[in-house]
Amino acid sequence: MNLRTYVILVLVGAIAAPSLQAQICKYNNIRRSAPDDRYVVNVEQGTLLDKKTGLTWKRCVEGQTGEGCDSGNVLYLNWGQALSRAAASTYAGFKDWRLPSYKELESLVEIACIEPAINTTVFPNDTGDWVWSSSPVQGGGNSALYVDFSGGEPYSDLRYNSGLAVRLVRGGQ
């Protein structure tokens, strides 16, 4: 094989190869904040119960479907759209879905992991997106809080500006 053929094969392989980034966890250095046994997963329903908080979560973010959340595409909405979508949801036959508060959303962060910073056993195929909370920024005008599940950090953004992911919850409050 000549050099030109080798370079072409390498380039084709690089272009054709999927860009999958594996979650990075340091369980030997950091105690898990969201271990598997904290959750009761209902695979058929596509939900899970968080035994620590008593909240029921939809396993897939809005737009993703399937047992492994591996079908569909993440739906990115502004804050108002996210609130409306949650209020209108009848997923799994329930009518009380809502956008989680910042504290509820933050409770899902797995501090031992990044990219994504969430338990991917119970929340499969999570993309580490920025996810809206229902919490407006106090004194922040038109801003609301969200969690960046790539690293697990909190941020705020203008409610009408950005399209962020949406994860639904029910119960609590």
Q: Which uninterrupted H or E stretch holds 57?
A: strand 56-58
Contact in structure between 64 and 74 (CB atoms under 8 Å): yes
pLDDT at site 51: 97
Q: Is 95 part of a structural domain of the chain?
A: yes
pLDDT at site 99: 98
Q: Is 8 part of a structural domain of the chain?
A: no
Number of domains within the chain: 1
> How far apart are the C-alpha atoms of 104 and 108, rounded to whole Å?
7
Contact in structure between 53 and 45 (CB atoms under 8 Å): no
Residues 6+ apart with CB under 8 A from 97: 58, 86, 87, 89, 90, 91, 168, 169, 170
Q: Is 155 part of a structural domain of the chain?
A: yes
CA distances from 102 to 24, 25, 109, 133, 145 (A): 24, 23, 11, 5, 6
pLDDT at site 110: 97
pLDDT at site 80: 95
Q: Is 1 part of a structural domain of the chain?
A: no
pLDDT by residue, tens only, the chain of 173 residues: 444 433 333 333 433 334 456 899 998 889 999 999 999 999 999 999 999 999 999 999 999 999 999 999 999 999 999 999 999 999 999 999 999 999 999 999 999 999 999 999 999 999 999 999 999 998 878 999 999 999 999 999 989 877 999 999 999 76
> How far apart are the C-alpha atoms of 7 and 109, rounded to whole Å?
42
Residues 6+ apart with CB under 8 A from 18: none
Q: Provide the residue range defining the domain that includes 159.
A: 22-170
Q: Is 12 part of a structural domain of the chain?
A: no
Q: Is 97 part of a structural domain of the chain?
A: yes
The token duo for 159 is 């409610």
The CATH number given to whatever domain includes residue 53 is 3.10.100
What torsion do the CA atoms of 96, 66, 55, 112 make, to the nearest 10 degrees? -150
Q: Is 153 part of a structural domain of the chain?
A: yes
Contact in structure between 62 and 168 (CB atoms under 8 Å): yes
pLDDT at site 141: 80
